[in-house]
Structure 1
Amino acid sequence: MRAIVFDGTANTLVDGITVRDPGAGEVLVRIVASGLCQSDLSVVNGKIPFPAPVILGHEGAGVVEAVGPGVSTPAVGDHVVLSTLATCGQCPSCAAGRPTMCRSSFGTSATPFRHGDTAIHSFAALSTFAERIVVQAGQAVTIPEDVPLSTACLIGCAVLTGSGAVLNRARVEPGDSVVVIGAGGIGLNVIQAARVAGAVRIIAVDTNPAKEPQARLFGATDFVDATAGDPVAAIRDLTGGGADHVFDCVGGEAITRQAMEMLDWGGQLIMLGVAGPDARLSVPASTFYLDRSVLGCRYGSSRPGADIPKYVDLYRSGRFLLDELVTRTYPLADFEVLLDDARHGRLDRGVLLMPA
């Protein structure tokens, strides 16, 4: 089979890759579509250290081709959306229904792929830039066959992360005010989840004014061009003092400091953007005296087995926009074109389509 292999310097389309057979509790999935996420770019540009060679990609959907011993769900032929959460299923966090807090689901490194005698790492317990992968059965959530896999793949990261941050972590309520810094793939899902949650004011902030129409399509009531003046002053003016929730979908010391200043008394900052490993956040201690808080958020505090079907239902009912997230699709051979488009901000999401 073929896959995009990152050797620590360059990405190369390689034929002749093999993947091991599924073991107990595992399934083999033929990847149909995969989105390119900022975390993949962060490995390529060195922001996230990761061993090489590796097959990146963690936003995928496909069809189950084989199941290992003990697997009853999903079944061969099922269409599935894939989750990065390869949990143990036994720890207190798993038992409490908090899979993003399972320590077994974070930071593990496996080599299920080979190219000749060379072992190749998986990424985020997936590696969806390959034509076939092996995952835990619980990572493959069945969806109806009428949902396009080219759209459904984005649920696996952009939707779970962005929408989950709103509905699971921040718990935005009707009447709340929301600021979303960064109107990319994650930010647009924060925006539309805030709309579904009943937020009355949803303000998108971005340095690219061309993103305003898309942000408004997904539910933004206002748009602030961060290059046109002081975004903090603009937010305070629009909200009458500050927002109930600010979602930082970009990351970085200066942006996070501004995000804190956008909060109203009792407001909360939810951090989604990945800052560099050496980044340090510095804000005045007085910022917290009026019940302001900062919340980290891993993967939207998601429960994929429950959340993926919920988002599919919202999509099928017309309340969630997913097709509109896909700016462009690419064959595997055009992976470098996809990378260039993503680096230059031309995409909400670009999607790789695998050959049938």
Structure 2
Amino acid sequence: MKGSGDMNGSGQLRGIVFDGAKASVRDDIELRDLRAGEVRVRIEAAGLCHSDVSVIDGTIQFPPPVVLGHEGAGVVVGVAPDVTNLAEGDHVVLSTLGNCGTCAECARGKPTFCRANAGRLGRPFTVGGQKAFQFANTSAFVEETVVKATSAIAIPKEMPLTSASLVGCGVITGVGAVINRAKVSHGESAVVIGVGGIGLNVVQGLALSDALPIIAVDTNPAKEQLAREFGATHFICAGEGVDLVEAIREIRPNGVDYVFECVGSTALIRQSTDMLDFGGTVVMVGVPKMGAEASFVVNTMYNDKSITGCRYGSSRPAYDIPMLIRLYQAGRLKLDELVSATYPLEDFNKALDELHEGKLARGVLSVSG
């Protein structure tokens, strides 16, 4: 079954493609027909995430050409005959997992452990007649995409799609790192290093968990106001001349229970271990350059300290995305406040510049608008 797929009158779509050298808007993208277990989604809004930037700058080594974007929301416009949980017209948030939904790991509520599609890169697009890869099982910077039905999570139609688009990556990763991976409890202390799109959601996840204190750290002093708005009780502007460990210990003399490293710096991962109290945990949320190695002083870790990884907020998208939407609707989760600016596809490079300049919590592309 085919979806609509005729956005410019010629059966071709507009989207942002990275060709190995640069990312640019193309209007010659075509999308294959649906296969079993898939849905076709018209993308209305897509968040600009550092993972997309990491493909462009080589931090994530992804084969080109690739249709970028992975944090999106839209409307279902086509459904394969075997899909029963979604229908045309449904509003959905996209999940990047691409999990099968049927293996033992999915069945026990660990879809981030699903190996059914691990390392398998789909190529549902052609660009100028050349096969093109899908990024992160989604590709949201294009007018329409196809995804597994398990990657399209239905949401209420009254939910604003611009705000909803952020739930599928930045929000679920940050909040999930707190509630699913670390399982922070009332009154436990935490440091969040890097308060960009992911870090702000770690901060509000900690606020939801009644953590205290919540210490936000960033090199950009302009981030303080937003960090406090999202729940930070303290803010440290890191930089030259600032002993970050000492600054943390002025607030918590024995160290903190959790440090969430959201930058992807091996040096900061190492430094995070010095901020921990006995029994404390470093949660690695940021993504360093592929192949990077981190180190720590072994004897400092014996007092039941730990370092843990966290993929995609250790989430269960079919459960967590509707829960996050309910929290938003109840006024307990900030989504509208994350959207610093919206851009048409043509202003992608402007959005990148403003992201690099630290002006954005999240920029959102209006894809089909």
TM-score when normalising by structure 1: 0.98
CA distance in 1, matches of 2:322, 2:129: 40
CA distance in 1, matches of 2:117, 2:108: 15
Residue equivalent to 2:157: 145
Deviation at 1:107, TM superposition (A): 2.5
- Partner SS state of residue 60, structure 1: strand
Letter in 1 for 2:284: M
1:154 and 2:166 aligned = yes
CA distance in 2, matches of 1:25, 1:54: 22
Structure 1 vs Structure 2: percent identity of aligned residues?
A: 54
Residue equivalent to 1:223: 235
1:49 and 2:47 aligned = no
Letter in 1 for 2:294: L
CA distance in 1, matches of 2:96, 2:185: 28
Report if the CA contact (8 A) 2:71-2:169 is conserved: yes
Letter in 2 for 1:291: D
**Residue of structure 1 aligned with 2:255, choices 224, 230, 242:** 242
- Partner SS state of residue 64, structure 1: strand
CA distance in 2, matches of 1:116, 1:195: 48
Residue equivalent to 1:287: 300
- Partner SS state of residue 107, structure 1: coil
Residue equivalent to 1:131: 143
CA distance in 1, matches of 2:368, 2:53: 23
Residue equivalent to 1:329: 342
Report if the CA contact (8 A) 2:46-2:70 is conserved: yes
1:165-206 CA distance string (max 9 Å, x none): 000000000010011000101001000011111112100011
Count of residue correspondences: 356
CA distance in 2, matches of 1:71, 1:91: 17
Report if the CA contact (8 A) 1:251-1:275 is conserved: yes
CA distance in 2, matches of 1:106, 1:208: 36
Residue equivalent to 1:185: 197
Residue equivalent to 1:318: 331
Deviation at 1:105, TM superposition (A): 4.1
CA distance in 1, matches of 2:141, 2:89: 20
Letter in 2 for 1:5: V
- Any stretches of 5+ residues in structure 1 without a counterpart? none
Q: CA RMSD for the aligned pairs?
A: 1.0
Report if the CA contact (8 A) 1:86-1:138 is conserved: yes
Report if the CA contact (8 A) 1:34-1:150 is conserved: yes
Report if the CA contact (8 A) 2:42-2:368 is conserved: no
Residue equivalent to 2:108: 96
CA distance in 2, matches of 1:118, 1:355: 23
Residue equivalent to 2:73: 61
Q: Which moved more, 1:108-117 or 1:260-269?
A: 108-117
- After TM superposition, the structure 1 = structure 2 runs for residues 158-173 of structure 1, keeping only pairs within 5 Å, are 158-173=170-185
Letter in 2 for 1:249: C
1:253-278 CA distance string (max 9 Å, x none): 21111111111000000001111123
